[in-house]
Amino acid sequence: MPVSPTEHAAPSRLGHWYRSSLVGHPAGRDFRQLWIGDTISQVGTQIGTIVLPLLAVSVLGADEFEMGLLLTFEKLAFLVVGLPAGAWVDRMRKRNVLITGDVVRGLALLALPVAWLLGVLTFPLLLVVATVVGVATVFFDVAYQSYLPSLVPSSRISEGNAKLQISHSVAEVAGPGLGGVLVRVVGAPLAILLDVLSFIGSVVFTLRIRHREEFSPGADRRRLHLEISEGLAFVFHQPLLRRIVATTATSNLFGGISSALLVLYAIRHLAVGEAGLGLALSIGAVGGLVGALLAEAVIKLVGEGRSIAVSLLPTLPALALVPLADGQPRPVAIALLATSAAVFGIGVVAYNVAQVSFRQRLCPKPLLGRMNASVRFVVWGTMPIGAFLGGIIGSRYGVLAALWVGVAGQSLAVLPVLLSPLVRMRDLPTDLDQHGDEEPDPHVANG
């Protein structure tokens, strides 16, 4: 029987997509292993982001100040080891750093359900585990962002980041809801085991990556403080990067205030329950997935510079929906939390895909680890400060007051990029020879 043209069309289009995408690129095999491993790990990590604070609130009875301490200890590593981590990662094989980071995080988290089964689970132990996981995450994240440019061609970095962001967004959709259900069914301590298994899965696929990096032998290395200063100098001497870092750091500072208290607020004030909170976060995370799917198209349509400048604007009114949920019926409260998370996810993902791709393309490869560590030291280092402030404000003035402070601060955070040449730029410099040490001419950059 003859086959109709339409029967050939779908496989042909699929084959064309595969051959033209990074997945079917000659260098795509190693990227696929990184992508699959990251997807597995991200699902477990997103489960952990809701299970750990639920463990603190529901099992250990943590108050506002203790919830602030928990997020502070989770993110403290970015302040303590954030800068030297970049120089150390640049001296190591990044594949080995990724594997070690997953193993350490899995073993640390395994201590929590074991301690619970033995009847010795305490809040101080939770803080220790959070600190160890945070340190391993610092090294993992710096190596991860620095590894991608070694696996894919420069022209495919944005596509690679977009695909990795899709995995992150899918995990954000599935993880919190699954975590909330698991907590209801088996309890928070045992639900952590799924996070442990996800790190094992990530290790399996990372081991399958064939690419081996070249790095300078020990004799060529200089003093650590000199290498660290190079990373900081790269970030702060580039005017566009300075503005991006200022916006991200300020947003994370005030976002840390809200994040530290969100689970306690949802469980004790809104009374949405573990499953209700997980449902709200999962529905809200659909926004991040939409942002990841549309990021490349938006960047091509609007331009990379303008995407960075305006992507966060729609998130500002959405942030206020969280404190406005107070006193609402349970279904309305869940809907407001979900809407806030969805709109915020769309804007933040589009912003991150554009600005991370710009950083990776602009930075020389030998400096990538130090550059990424310098950026993360500043932008993530503000989060434990914000979380600690959130705990203090929440315990002294109440959770709602702390949430409104977070909303106000995050609204002001967009000013460095919004009041910059980025808003008038379509294309951005691709190397330091293009406006590396001065404010770029928007007319030239527009091409």
Token pair of 422 as six digits: 């980025």
Residue 16 has pLDDT above 80, yes or no: no
**The pLDDT value given to residue 392:** 96
**The pLDDT value given to residue 69:** 94
**Per-residue pLDDT averaged across 363-374, rounded?**
76
Residue-wise pLDDT tens digits, 200-222: 999 999 898 887 776 555 545 56
Q: Are 340 and 383 in contact (CB under 8 A)?
A: no
Higher-confidence position of 327 and 43:
327
Higher-confidence position of 376 and 443:
376
**The pLDDT value given to residue 62:** 92
**Per-residue pLDDT averaged across 405-415, rounded?**
93
Cβ count within 10 A of residue 437 = 8
**The pLDDT value given to residue 334:** 94
Q: Are 240 and 432 in contact (CB under 8 A)?
A: no
**The pLDDT value given to residue 25:** 59
Distance CA 44, CA 47 (A): 5
**The pLDDT value given to residue 1:** 45
**Per-residue pLDDT averaged across 10-23, rounded?**
52
* Lowest-pLDDT range of 17-31, 176-190, 312-326: 17-31
Measuring CA to CA, how many Å separate 92 from each of 31, 38, 98, 199? 19, 20, 11, 21
**The pLDDT value given to residue 318:** 92
Q: Which residues contact 229 (CB under 8 A, 6 or more apart)?
A: none
Percent of the chain with pLDDT over 70: 86
Token pair of 207 as six digits: 């081991």
Cβ count within 10 A of residue 88 = 20
**Per-residue pLDDT averaged across 124-130, rounded?**
96
**The pLDDT value given to residue 13:** 53
**The pLDDT value given to residue 437:** 38
**Per-residue pLDDT averaged across 251-270, rounded?**
93
DSSP assignment string, 215-249: ---GGG---HHHHHHHHHHHHHHSHHHHHHHHHHH
Residue 57 has pLDDT above 70, yes or no: yes
**The pLDDT value given to residue 429:** 64
154-163, 387-396, 437-446: which has the highest mean pLDDT? Answer: 387-396
**The pLDDT value given to residue 425:** 76
**The pLDDT value given to residue 216:** 53
Instruction: Give the ranges where 22-62 is alpha helix by DSSP (H).
Output: 28-54
Residue 337: pLDDT band (50, 70, 90) is very high
Measuring CA to CA, how many Å separate 438 from each of 80, 188, 236, 249? 31, 52, 11, 22
Integer-rounded Cα Rg, in Å, for the chain is: 22
Query: 118 — phi, psi (to 5°)?
Result: -85, -5
Residue 404: pLDDT band (50, 70, 90) is very high
Tell me which DSSP letter residue 434 carries: T
**The pLDDT value given to residue 17:** 45
**Per-residue pLDDT averaged across 47-68, rounded?**
91
* Lowest-pLDDT range of 16-25, 85-94, 128-137: 16-25
Q: Are 282 and 403 in contact (CB under 8 A)?
A: no
Higher-confidence position of 406 and 95:
406
Higher-confidence position of 373 and 15:
373
Token pair of 174 as six digits: 């599935």
**The pLDDT value given to residue 18:** 46
**Per-residue pLDDT averaged across 22-26, rounded?**
60
Domain boundaries, the chain: 25-210+224-445
Q: Which residues contact 202 (CB under 8 A, 6 or more apart)?
A: 37, 38, 40, 41, 98, 102
Distance CA 203, CA 198 (A): 9
**The pLDDT value given to residue 53:** 92
Pick the CATH number of 25-210+224-445 from 1.10.533.10, 1.20.1250.20, 2.60.120.10, 3.90.650.10: 1.20.1250.20
* Lowest-pLDDT range of 14-28, 274-288, 324-338, 355-369: 14-28
